[in-house]
Structure 1
Amino acid sequence: MTMDQERVRHVLETVFARQDVEDVCKQRDLGGVIRILTKYGITQGQIANLTGIPQGRVSEYKSGKRVPTAKHTFESFADGLGMPGHLRRHLGLASSGGGGGVRVVSDGVQIPTDTFDLQLFAEAIGKRGEPLKRRELLAMVGQLGAQSALAQSEAWEKVAFALSRPSAIDEAVVREMEARAAGFHRLEEMLPAHTIFRGLAAHLNEVGTILNGTATDPKDELRRRLIVVAGESSVLAGWIATDLGNISAARNFYDTAEKASKEADDPAIIACAFGYRSYIPSGKGNHGRARALLTTALQHLPKDTSPGTTSWLAARHAEESAALGESEAALQSWEEAREAFNIADPEEDRVWTRFLDRDRFDSFAISTYAQIGRLNEAEAVAHAVISRLSEVERKRAGIILGDIATAHIVHGSVQEAARAAREGLAVIRETESGIWLPRFIVLGEALRRWQTQPPVRAFLEELAVTKRQFSASPR
């Protein structure tokens, strides 16, 4: 005889108080939970109806044919069955159900923050091989639930098999890892650092596990490509760790990238690592050290191997030279950057160059021109860039607004500088891009002498609030 809903809930409450249920939850064994529930009269069909998980999948979990790994599966199970807080915690979930699995990016765009879903999302973005528009981003987020429902099949099954038997890696696994690395580089432009870090770290662990199970063989092209993936992912992890304020972890990731670069004979990875590292001293005002790192990066990069990387590094070199007041060196580096950009196709270059579209390249021009006194050119480029930015590219707006504020300070337009700096600071808070906060702290120091002026005072007050926000954040 089928139980009614009230009776089902009563049985669930009784069973969830049992020690054996707590024990299997500690092992994150949903199959074990299902076996106990059916022992006490809860049918697989009732579990399916309550959780939204297909009955066939519930049966496979019960028999052990499939083992769930995606957080959303555990959440559906716990939410649908009304599991108490202590069991939810054993399953790795928050004590109470809710919408903790998504992150609002901007204007209603929501991105999943579950580690496994982020890996799937990064892989899907990487396979596209082209930038995302906001409408397309929304569509991909909408499709993610269906992708997650298939998490134990197709791509994930291949990766899981490679993790259990690393010697069995094949072209499909490598391509999936390459796509995922490319996708995480794209996600970095759209999401706060802490949102994607766990997914990226899990991805690196999987790549490392596969590599550790394979024998070193210079002739093994698949293994070499996986090492490149490890290097490309490690430089991004170093960059994100810097954003999170963990400089020690960032150095470790960059060291890993350097080892991967050498083993794969891919010096562009080392060049990228030095390029990312240059932002650390630059944020502290040590432009000499930053430029030295960029010089080393350019020396490591073979000519014509990656025009996109050359363009980025040379533009950064120009920016740091301008900050040192060396106009001639800045213009010389800028010319090198411009020539490389004219022949570069960042979308077909390295994964870290895909951020370098016209808007981002022009932002380097704004910074360089502003600091060497070519203010009219700097402001003209800045206004053109801001007008082209989309909602999904809000991180860039903060950087560019900081450059505009710098240009206004140099030009003597204090109120305009304060206005631009305040707008940029709002973007920094919105996108949680703490790596750019030091730039606004420097702006605050430059504007402090005019703190009696209302626009400047308003910016300084918001800067103090923002500094407290980031220092208190668990980033």
Structure 2
Amino acid sequence: MNGEGFSPIVIPGNVWDQESTATILRNRDIAGLFKLATKYTGASQVRLSVATGIPQGRISQISRGQRQVSDLVVFERIANGLGLPDHARVLLGLAPLGPAASARADDDEHQEQADDLAARLDAASVIDSTMVMILSTDTNNLRMLDRRMGAGPIADKMRAHIAQINRAHHHAVRPGVRAELAEVLAEASSLAGWQAIDTGAVNDAWDHYERAKSAAQEAERPAVLAHVSGEQAYTLIEIGRPAEAVELIRYVHQTHRGQIPALLRAWLSAAEAEAASVLGDEVTCRNALDQAARLLPEDDWPDPELPYLALNRHHLARWRGNCLVRFADPDTVEDLRGALAGMDGTFNRAEAGVRCDLGHALLAGGDPDAALPHIQRAQQLATMTGSRRQRRRVDELARLLNRSLN
């Protein structure tokens, strides 16, 4: 039951003002009253039994019209259990509770809420910087699992992780810890947003990124805010609005230009190039790729300050190939082969994308036999990671391949 049988039954106030409800009450039609509770709250017979103190078997008999209620004490239990307001109690033939009873109920509810809030605040108060670091490490571990396995196998862990961080952040009082939790929440929500894009849940993705942006703003971390805002642009690409994606990424880059590291600026430039390539704007695409190459630091990746970014010269080559394959660039095949050779084997979903691009480029170059193993491997990886985004591309390439081979 998951606690459902013990939750109070709250019928919307306007239901008691309906004429049909008044008729039920005047007729003391308890079966009809139970039907109202089920209709407007989804209350099961178990919940009705717990709320009214009437055995479930008797609830069933009353609901089927096999048993009538005549005892005033039982009417009182039903009225209390279903939360009848005073005017509804009068129609049922019961005395109103009056202001004193209402005040006592209000006091009880206030105390219950106060106790609940105090318990939540106490639970959040145990979170310190060490625990925040542990939560951040958990996010990084989930990120690595996502790269290898995709979103599906870790979906439950991801939901529980975000719920835990969100709960702690929502009730954190100390400003320093609250800001640290906000940063972790932003990064975890951004990861969830990317997973939602990959599985085709674009509405969920947008909501994850909105939560991530709010948390990043509270944490006062421009780099995190720029990253999650840039990733959110991919939801626009997914729904066929690449021009708005280009506009958003440019705005993010210009707004945070002086506050974010070069690696993140390179990532934003590459993201702009991808959006421009989808738009069909080759000039903007190439200019953005060139800018990304200029901005990319020489230092080895990963950057511990930017754990959410996977970008080095091999990844940029992958990105370049993904963009320029749309313009039939003759150098795309070599770019993609170099990117594939430089991948470390942990980016299974990304490898699926590279192989899709390489298969596409080889098909465009008239070499379907060379494209075949890449498309087949991309299909395996997309299936393994549950990537609907890559599966769409694989299916399209498979159709093109069949036409080329037949």
Measured at CA, do residues 184 and 162 of structure 1 come closer, stay the same or move farther in structure 2, by a change above 3 Å?
Answer: farther
What one-letter code is carried by the residue in structure 2 that aligns with 1:352?
Y
After superposition, where does 1:18-37 map in structure 2 within 5 Å?
A: none
Tell me the CA shift for residue 341 of structure 1.
1.5
Tell me, yes or no, if structure 1 residue 187 matches structure 2 residue 139: no
What one-letter code is carried by the residue in structure 1 that aligns with 2:163?
N
Partner in structure 2 of residue 383 of structure 1: 337
Q: Is the 8 A contact 1:362 1:381 kept in 2?
A: yes
Partner in structure 1 of residue 377 of structure 2: 423
Partner in structure 1 of residue 69 of structure 2: none
Partner in structure 1 of residue 251 of structure 2: 296
Partner in structure 2 of residue 109 of structure 1: none
Q: Given the alignment, which residue of 397, 421, 424 partners 2:351? A: 397
After superposition, where does 1:402-413 map in structure 2 within 5 Å?
A: 402-413=356-367
Q: Is the 8 A contact 2:243 2:279 kept in 1?
A: yes
Q: Deviations over 1:135-185 (max 9, x none)?
A: xxxxxxxxxxxxxxxxxxxxxxxxxx9985322332211221222222222
**SS of corresponding position for 2:280:** coil
**SS of corresponding position for 1:352:** coil
Partner in structure 2 of residue 259 of structure 1: 214
Measured at CA, do residues 287 and 252 of structure 1 come closer, stay the same or move farther in structure 2, by a change above 3 Å?
Answer: closer
Identical aligned residues as a percent: 20
Partner in structure 1 of residue 86 of structure 2: none
Larger radius of gyration: 2
Q: Is the 8 A contact 1:270 1:300 kept in 2?
A: no
Measured at CA, do residues 431 and 214 of structure 1 come closer, stay the same or move farther in structure 2, by a change above 3 Å?
Answer: closer
After superposition, where does 1:313-462 map in structure 2 within 5 Å?
A: 313-343=268-298, 345-353=301-309, 355-376=310-331, 378-443=332-397, 447=400, 451=403, 453-454=405-406
What one-letter code is carried by the residue in structure 1 that aligns with 2:210?
D
Q: Which runs of 4+ in 1 moved over 6 A?
A: none
Tell me the CA shift for residue 398 of structure 1.
0.7
**SS of corresponding position for 1:181:** helix
Partner in structure 1 of residue 52 of structure 2: none
Q: Given the alignment, which residue of 168, 174, 177 partners 2:135? A: 177
Partner in structure 1 of residue 106 of structure 2: none
Measured at CA, do residues 451 and 284 of structure 1 come closer, stay the same or move farther in structure 2, by a change above 3 Å?
Answer: farther
Q: RMSD value over aligned CA atoms?
A: 3.2
What one-letter code is carried by the residue in structure 1 that aligns with 2:305?
D
Q: Is the 8 A contact 2:222 2:259 kept in 1?
A: no
Measured at CA, do residues 209 and 251 of structure 1 come closer, stay the same or move farther in structure 2, by a change above 3 Å?
Answer: same
Q: Deviations over 1:431-474 (max 9, x none)?
A: 222232233345356x27x62624xxxxxxxxxxxxxxxxxxxx
Q: Is the 8 A contact 1:398 1:424 kept in 2?
A: yes
Q: Is the 8 A contact 2:257 2:265 kept in 1?
A: no
CA distance in 2, matches of 1:341, 1:371: 23
Q: Deviations over 1:397-434 (max 9, x none)?
A: 21101111232344344454455333322221122222
CA distance in 2, matches of 1:171, 1:284: 39
**SS of corresponding position for 2:257:** coil
Q: Given the alignment, which residue of 176, 179, 191 partners 1:224? A: 179
Q: Given the alignment, which residue of 236, 246, 270 partners 2:225? A: 270
CA distance in 1, matches of 2:123, 2:238: 44
After superposition, where does 1:96-107 map in structure 2 within 5 Å?
A: none
Report the TM-score, using the length of structure 1 for normalisation: 0.55
What one-letter code is carried by the residue in structure 1 that aligns with 2:394?
F
Tell me the CA shift for residue 299 of structure 1.
3.3
